Amino acid sequence: MESGTDPPRGREASQKRSPLDLIMNQIRKKTTFTERKKPSMGRLFRPSVNSDKNEDISETKETDSSEGKDSTGPGTESSDTDSEISSGVGWGRVKQFVQKLGKTPDSQSLSLAHCDLTATDAVELGTLLPYLAQLEVMDLSWNDLLGGSLKALTCHFQHTGKLKILKLSSCRITAHDLTALGEALDCAPLLEMLDLSWNAGVGGGNLHGLTKHLHSASSLKELHLVDCQLSETDAMALGEALQMLSCLEVLDLSNNKQMMKGLENVATSLNSTPQLKTLKLSMCGLSHDSFAILGEKLKFVPGLENLDLSCNKESSGGFSTLTTGLSFLTCLKCLDMHSCCLTEDDILALTQVVPSWGELTELDLSSNRNVGGVIQSLLPVLPLSKMKKLYLNNCGLSTETCQALATSMQSLTQLESLNLSWNKSVGEILQQFLEPLQPNCELQELRLSSCDLTTEDMLYLESACKLGCLSKLKILDLAYNGSVGDGGWVSLFGEAERLKELQELDISLRPSSSLSASPWLPALLDALPQLPSLRRLALQRWALGPTERETLEKILSKKKVILECD
């Protein structure tokens, strides 16, 4: 469910700035990143003469040459040796630029995300592109001062003909930037992935500045436009563009609610993208009518493998209008419908089409609290032997559903991730889930947060560890289960040596709770050396004495484990 986009770090803050911030940004745009990092007194002194002196001279000559001020006389051609020297010096400039940003230079991959780049940096980077002819990946995401200066970079794209991946998420892209990028697309004929997510300037009717430059020879396979405030006009432009993108495999339009007014324009063009494998429409305000439109067009993408319709609460009760199209998706592997306010009728409608999905490996129905009593009707039609991820957290699972699911565990032989958190009925019957597990089973993630687990449940979990049924477990979430007695924790930690691959362990208490960790802490301290892969330990709201905390932190610091503790 991954989109290939970084999380929206500080996005809201970047969208709303004070007048002082705007003034300071204008000043910063005229200053390079490296100049802002230099001590001000450093400018008063000349650098000492060293082995880099010759390189500086060569760089100056290289720059003059590129501007038509070659030192050789008219009609004189540079030798191969001169070309090699120039190339070496150019790469030296690239290394210097990248290293001053705290990054590692790579001739094929340029990753400068979160580098606080400015318009001046964009100009300098553009002059370096001639020395990056082998570049395939360029990531400039999360540099919001680049907005409005993209043309200074794209005008040099003729030197990066091998570029395949371009990421510009959260760069405050403007309409002029989109036009400049569109005009440069012909210089990147091999471009396969374009990520413009988290740029409000992409929407508002501006998308046409980019899409009008697309043509049928495009190699684009992935287009990410998450939270770009796309409008109905943008949806029309996107619909026209899709007719040119016959190679498209991934389309992510999540968090664009206004665009759904033009959903029909997008959906109608799906017949031009027969190779589409991933379609993400999370948090797009899909309604019953949207589902009906989408249901009619899904038959044009029979190879679809990943469908994300999550966080569309307006679609509650309208799933049946989508089922006609879903029945054509015989290759579907992942369906995400968490937080959709699904009803019992929606689940019954889903039950009718699931038999068509023989390749389904991942199903997310979490945070749909009204379906806990009917999910058991879904279990018999799922391809249980192929399921790898099953998320049913916060679904209000009934006791009968939990028992039916526990019975199905013996068929879930490939299951890697199971999330049953926030289902109180799991408590006291955890044994039924654990007993069908076989030694060395594939389970890597088990989340049982806030499940009203008991001390007895912990004893069964201990037994599963002892039998080797959880030997591949990497994530174990047992938070918010304050009803577990001290003896339960002691017994679990006593079998820690069986959890060699465990990376994350969470046994935190609820925010309103507070208990002493002293009774079971010695067992945990003895267990930690036997957990070589542990990287995160959460013990929030457990009270530790000064000596206990010091001892715990000393052990964890040696293992480089992150401790989350009040």
pLDDT band at 566 (very low <50, low <70, confident <90, very high): confident
Residue 483 pLDDT more than 80?
Answer: yes
Instruction: Please tell me whether residues 258 and 293 are part of one structural domain.
Output: no
The stretch 397-417 carries a mean pLDDT of 95
Q: What is the per-residue pLDDT across 315-340, written as a single tens digit (0 to 9) for each? A: 999 999 999 899 999 999 999 999 99
Residue 358 pLDDT more than 60?
Answer: yes
Residue 17 pLDDT more than 80?
Answer: no
The stretch 243-250 carries a mean pLDDT of 96
Which of 253, 276, 299 terminates a domain? The answer is 276
Residue 40 pLDDT more than 90?
Answer: no
Partnered with residue 506 across adjacent β-strands are 477, 538
Which of 251, 276, 301 terminates a domain? The answer is 276
Instruction: Please tell me whether residues 260 and 119 are part of one structural domain.
Output: yes
Residue 15 pLDDT more than 50?
Answer: no
Query: Which residue segment(s) compose the domain that 141 sits in?
Result: 108-276
Q: What is the per-residue pLDDT across 122-176, written as a single tens digit (0 to 9) for each? A: 999 999 999 999 999 999 999 999 999 999 999 999 999 999 999 999 999 999 9
Whether residue 138 contacts residue 156, with contact meaning beta carbons closer than 8 Å, is answered with no
Q: What is the per-residue pLDDT across 227-240, written as a single tens digit (0 to 9) for each? A: 999 999 999 999 99
pLDDT band at 437 (very low <50, low <70, confident <90, very high): very high
Q: What percent of the chain has pLDDT over 70?
A: 85
The stretch 246-262 carries a mean pLDDT of 94
What's the total number of domains in the chain? 3
Residue 74 pLDDT more than 70?
Answer: no
Task: Report the candidate in 238, 185, 193, 244 with the shortest Cα–Cα distance to residue 217.
Answer: 244
The per-residue pLDDT for 87 is 61
Instruction: Please tell me whether residues 307 and 245 are part of one structural domain.
Output: no
Instruction: Please tell me whether residues 376 and 443 are part of one structural domain.
Output: no
Residue 489 pLDDT more than 70?
Answer: yes
pTM of the model: 0.84
CATH number of residue 322's parent domain: 3.80.10.10
Q: What percent of the chain has pLDDT over 90?
A: 81
Instruction: Please tell me whether residues 336 and 202 are part of one structural domain.
Output: no
Distance in angstroms (rounded) separating the CA atoms of residues 43 and 506:
51
Whether residue 196 contacts residue 222, with contact meaning beta carbons closer than 8 Å, is answered with no
Instruction: Please tell me whether residues 339 and 449 are part of one structural domain.
Output: no
Instruction: Please tell me whether residues 381 and 474 are part of one structural domain.
Output: no
80 located within any domain = no
**Which residues, at least 6 apart from 363, have a Cβ–Cβ distance to it below 8 Å?**
334, 335, 382, 387, 389, 390, 391
The single residue listed with the structure tokens 């986009």 is 5
The per-residue pLDDT for 21 is 55
Distance in angstroms (rounded) separating the CA atoms of residues 345 and 290:
18
97, with CB counted inside 10 A (0-12, 13-18, 19+), is buried
Which of 247, 276, 305 terminates a domain? The answer is 276
